[in-house]
Amino acid sequence: MSRNATIVSFGRRVSRFSVLTMTLVVLSGALASAQDFRGRVNGVVTDNTGAVLPGVTVTATSPALIQPQVQVTGGDGAYRFLALPPGLYTLAFELPGFTTLRREDIRVVINQTLTVDAQLQVATLQETVTVTGESPVVDTTTTTMGTNFTKELLTEIPNARDIWAAMAQAPGMQMTSYDVGGSHTGTQTGYRTYGFDDQNQTKLEGIDTTEGTSANAGYFDFGSFEEFSVGGAGNSAESFAGGASLSISVKSGGDRFSGNWYSDWEGDATISDNVPDNLRVSNQRDNNGFFVRSALRRGNPIDRQYDLNGNVGGPIWKRKAWFFYSYRLNDQYKTILGFDELERSKLSNKYTFKGTFQLGKNNQIIGFLNKREKLQDKRGIGPSTPLSAARYQSSRNYPMKVEWTSVLGSRAFLDVMAAHWYNFFPLRPTIEAGLYSGPWGPGRLDTATNVFFDGGANNSYQDQKRFKPQFYASLSYFQDGWHGSHDFKFGYDWKRDRRKRGLDQPFDIFYRDNRGLVNQVDLYNTPVAPINDVVYNAAFVSDTWKYNNRLTLNLGGRLEF
């Protein structure tokens, strides 16, 4: 393949439960939160004799920061930046009487803590020493087993610009299917993490967009990613589930205007035809015994596909306010193997907007809004599902948030976020969309072959609406002197997940046959709209207790209701 690229329960039911989880992990490291979409940097500053230096001004600058962050080393020579957006950083260490030291190209990634120690020399001249190429690349202070994908990595490695295709490259991830040249675009891919394939969680800019216990809702604006991380095991008490933890951070703009454009296209003339000769004939085995019951005429099912993705960002007010906007359209027409029909899967991110506003030196307000749409005109069509029983999907969802962050001196960081996630997911008859003209009658399914009757309806139409308002607050606090150092984090989560699943059956009856004879009938009383309504409260506390240089205890507790 080659590509042309230019860079049924009626009524209301509420379920409540209480779970208390305590974890204790002993190893030489500190805790990395599974829910954070920021990183940390800390270290100790000494002189050339190895004595600690208090009062050193440490300044962190980065294109990811509207204004530099500044910390001063304490009596133990230690400094810490508790919450830095992902990106490339420069640290400057300054103290009168000593040479200024600059450490450049420090890559801060989400969910990780980096240790950057510094040694200052007594100054004989007014000079600055710049150190490059010594930035830490391994986080030795985390219990989380996972992988970070930076924007550079996402740009440089060959993939199908699909989050599941990227995840397939992470150690510990096992995908249920694989994307080849975009062949799986428009369909979510299941995955298993260290043998566990349930209770996964997805957060976009900290917003919980988890659709089910093993699914992500919507399809992502790949070009808007600053970074995403996937944690497979060892999640902290801040995690609300035991499976894989996916955290995505979106670009923020900057103090100068910039943007980029990506586009690609492929068609049937650019896709190789690699179907073995024996698979072009029904029931013909090769030397290894492989065969197909229905002859294949092609391998990769893509007929044509294009991907348009552009974004722009910059200052609204330099060093005070930034904006970022992105648009993506990924449109695919795919042949259903063994069936002479083209199915369309059109994925749109009409807008991804993020605004960042600096209030003084230590406070920020962040706003985010994303609109995602999917059009799948003949969902499910295939040899066992004719056009009459296929479903028309035109879904959309909106993640959004307003977030306030505050740096409370050198010891504390406060993060408060109010967010919402709307998800509208209709599956309608193709005859309603004008794709099928009839004849049309009550649906029938032969249970022996799982084949729908040609000319009949499906039995799984819906008009689902889901609303998930949510609120998060967390406080990180560092404390020295209690038999070592303690890195505390206290947090509270609240969500209300309300799903109204409008169900209907056009003829109020559906037949289940067994080899051509009626074996069972389903009777309906439509329309109905069962409602699931869950109110969720959780509180957690974690403590990274560094007892000495050789022993760190990671402690965490979580209470859910």
Split at pLDDT 50, 70, 90, the class of 142 is low
**Banded pLDDT at 13 (limits 50, 70, 90):** very low
Give mean pLDDT, residues 212-220.
75
Average confidence (pLDDT) over 83-110: 89
Mean pLDDT over 413-426 rounds to: 95
* Contacts with 102 (C-beta within 8 Å, 6 or more apart), sequence order: 90, 91, 92, 93, 128, 129, 130, 131
Say what the pTM is: 0.84
Q: Which of 396, 298, 271, 272 has its CA nearest to residue 346?
A: 396
Confidence of residue 201 (pLDDT cuts 50, 70, 90): confident
Task: Give yes or no for a contact between 348 and 414, defined as CB atoms under 8 angstroms apart.
Answer: no
How far is 34 from 542, CA to CA, in rounded Å? 12
φ, ψ at 337 (rounded to 5°):
-60, 130
Cβ–Cβ under 8 Å, residues 491 and 238: yes
Burial 210-226 (b: 16+ CB within 10 A, else e): bbeebebbbbbbbbbbb
**C-alpha 401: how far from its chain's center?**
15
Q: What pLDDT, in 10s, does the model give residues 313-353?
A: 999 999 899 999 999 999 999 888 767 778 899 999 999 99
At residue 523, does pLDDT exceed 80?
yes
Q: Show Cβ contacts of residue 189 under 8 Å, excluding neighbours closer than 6 positions.
A: 164, 165, 168, 175, 176, 177, 178, 179
- Report which of residues 231 and 98 the model is more confident about: 98
pLDDT at 329: 96
**What is the rounded CA–CA span in Å between residue 31 and residue 273?**
50
Whole-angstrom CA distances from 534 to 15, 243, 491, 503 are 7, 20, 20, 20
Measured CA to CA, the distance from residue 263 to residue 543 in angstroms comes to 46
Q: What is the pLDDT of residue 468?
A: 95
Alpha carbon 13 to its chain centroid, in Å, reads: 30
34-47 pLDDT per residue, tens: 446 788 888 899 98
Confidence band (pLDDT; 50, 70, 90) for 33? Answer: very low
DSSP for 394-407, please give it. Answer: EEEEEEEEEEEEEE
pLDDT band at 158 (very low <50, low <70, confident <90, very high): confident
What confidence tens digit (pLDDT) does each residue in 458-468 have?
A: 999 999 999 99
Do 389 and 457 contact (CB within 8 A), yes or no? yes
Cβ atoms 85, 65 nearer than 8 A: yes
User: Averaged over 426-444, what is the pLDDT?
Assistant: 94
Residue 411 scores a pLDDT above 60: yes
Average pLDDT over residues 354-383: 93
Task: Give, as one character, the DSSP assignment of residue 190.
Answer: -
- Measure CA 214 to chain center: 13
Domain boundaries, the chain: 33-131, 143-237+251-560
Measured torsion, CA atoms of residues 225, 230, 236, 238, in degrees rounded to the nearest 10? 40
> Which comes out higher in pLDDT, residue 228 or 195?
228
Per-residue pLDDT for 15 more than 60? no
Residue found under tokens 């609240």:
494
Residue 234 predicted with pLDDT over 80: no
Q: What is the pLDDT of residue 537?
A: 96
Chain center to CA of 331: 21
Task: Give yes or no for a contact between 208 and 11, defined as CB atoms under 8 angstroms apart.
Answer: no
On whether the CB atoms of residues 250 and 352 are closer than 8 A, the answer is yes
Letter string b/e over residues 531-561, b meaning 16 or more CB atoms within 10 A of that residue's CB? eeeeebebebebbbbbeeeeebbbbbebebe
pLDDT at residue 98 above 50?
yes
Give dist(CA 106, CA 134) in Å, integer: 8
Segment 47-81, tens digit of pLDDT: 888 899 999 999 999 988 998 999 998 888 889 88
Q: What number of other Cβ atoms are within 10 A of residue 500's Cβ?
A: 14
Name, of 127-131, 280-284, 461-465, the range with top average pLDDT. Answer: 461-465
Percentage of the chain with pLDDT > 90?
40
Segment (H or E) for 410: none
Q: Can you tell me the distance from the alpha carbon of 56 to that of 49, in angstroms, rounded to the nearest whole number?
A: 16
**Alpha helical stretches, state H, 237-321:** none
| Beta strand pairing call for 39-47 and 78-84 | antiparallel
Q: Which of 286-300, 362-376, 410-424, 474-488 is the least confident region?
A: 286-300
Instruction: Report the pLDDT value the prediction gives residue 140, as an integer from 0 to 100.
Output: 57
Q: How confident is the model at residue 30 (pLDDT cuts 50, 70, 90)?
A: very low
Distance separating alpha carbons of residues 342 and 335, to the nearest angstrom: 5
Helix (H, G, I), strand (E, B) or coil at 152: helix
Alpha carbon distance 30, 557 (integer Å): 16
* pLDDT class of 355 with cuts at 50, 70, 90: very high
Residue 150, both tokens = 């930076």
Residue 263 · residue 306 · CB < 8 Å:
yes
pLDDT of residue 401: 97
Q: Are 143 and 544 in contact (CB under 8 A)?
A: no
Residue 183 CB coordination number (10 Å): 20
Percent of the chain's residues with pLDDT above 70: 88
Q: Per CATH, which fold does 33-131 belong to?
A: Immunoglobulin-like (2.60.40)
Q: Where are the beta strands (DSSP E) in 221-360?
A: 225-233, 245-250, 258-267, 302-317, 321-335, 342-359
pLDDT band at 138; cut points 50, 70, 90: low
Cα dihedral: 9, 212, 344, 165 (round 10): -160
Please state, rounded to an integer, the average pLDDT across all residues of the chain: 84
What are the backbone dihedrals phi and psi of residue 269, each rounded to the nearest 5 degrees, phi first?
-75, -15
DSSP letter at 441 equals: B
97 burial (CB, 10 Å; 0-12 / 13-18 / 19+) is exposed
- Of the pLDDT bands very low, low, confident and very high (cuts 50, 70, 90), residue 237 is confident
| Structure tokens that stand for 230 in this block | 């996937």
CB 388 within 8 A of CB 431: yes
